């Protein structure tokens, strides 16, 4: 399992990074990105702390990625926060997309897929135009296991198939029981409407491509 969207107690998760990593190892994870919610008020603190979590790679057979999830950022301010995140060492940048269960600012999806972003999380009823822009700019669209956000997984998968935009399955984990296995991730991809080849790509090759682009 490669999970590129999780949360710790540094935002609204229930686990400190060491426990999150340990539980990921037990679930058979090969890589995990800790992507706590950030805005302009906390990004320095979170990224400075998350860098220390990488030391756990010395103890477990897992890749730990330093990341952030830009959350409810006004679209006009997103670029400057992305640049700041990269400067501060963010390896993975996730943007909190226009999920149907939260009042995310309109235009978030369009702005995110136009910028230096790795993953657009739970992008809700993303348009064909924005999915095409995601493909052009190498931004992956997320299929999520998280309740509520997963209501539009079928639509997101269809947009990915129709436009060729990359798709990746993540948990958006906030609690211990949110972590999943490879088998569950594969079933989530199938349940979203992907065929077996597409499901394998969304759960294995696409996440690996994102990780390899960091090296």
R_g (Cα) of the chain, nearest Å: 16
**Mean pLDDT of the region 19-44:** 98
The band of 16, judged by pLDDT with boundaries at 50, 70 and 90, is very high
What is the pLDDT at residue 137? 98
**Mean pLDDT of the region 98-126:** 98
Question: Alpha-carbon dihedral of residues 178, 85, 61, 179, nearest 10 degrees?
Answer: 0
Nearest one of 209, 211, 168, 159 to 186, comparing CA atoms: 168
**Mean pLDDT of the region 23-41:** 98
Mean pLDDT of the chain: 97
**Mean pLDDT of the region 66-70:** 98
- Percent of the chain clearing pLDDT 70 (strictly above): 100
What is the pLDDT at residue 215? 64
pTM: 0.97
Give me the CATH topology for the region 2-214.
TIM Barrel (3.20.20)
What is the pLDDT at residue 68? 98
146-172 pLDDT, tens digit per residue, is 999 999 999 999 999 999 999 999 999
C-alpha to C-alpha distance for 211 and 123, rounded to whole angstroms: 21
């Amino acid at each position: 399992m490669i999970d590129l969207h999780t949360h710790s107690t540094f935002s609204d998760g229930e686990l400190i990074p060491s426990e999150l990593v340990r539980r990921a190892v037990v679930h058979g994870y090969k890589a995990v990105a800790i992507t706590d919610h950030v805005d302009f008020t906390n990004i320095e603190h979170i990224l400075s702390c998350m860098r220390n979590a990488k030391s756990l790679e010395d103890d477990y057979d897992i890749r730990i990625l330093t990341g952030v999830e830009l959350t409810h950022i006004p679209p006009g301010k997103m670029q400057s926060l992305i640049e700041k995140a990269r400067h501060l060492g963010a390896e993975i940048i996730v943007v909190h997309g226009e999920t149907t269960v939260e009042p995310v600012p309109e235009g978030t999806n369009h702005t995110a897929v136009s910028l230096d972003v790795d993953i657009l999380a739970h992008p809700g009823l993303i348009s064909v135009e924005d999915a095409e822009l995601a493909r052009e700019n190498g931004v992956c669209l997320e299929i999520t296991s998280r309740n509520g956000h997963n209501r539009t997984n079928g639509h997101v998968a269809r947009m990915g198939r129709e436009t060729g935009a990359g798709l990746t399955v993540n948990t958006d984990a906030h609690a211990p029981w949110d972590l999943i296995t490879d088998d569950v991730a594969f079933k989530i991809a199938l349940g979203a409407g992907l065929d077996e080849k597409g499901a394998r790509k969304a759960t294995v090759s696409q996440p690996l491509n994102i990780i390899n682009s960091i090296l």
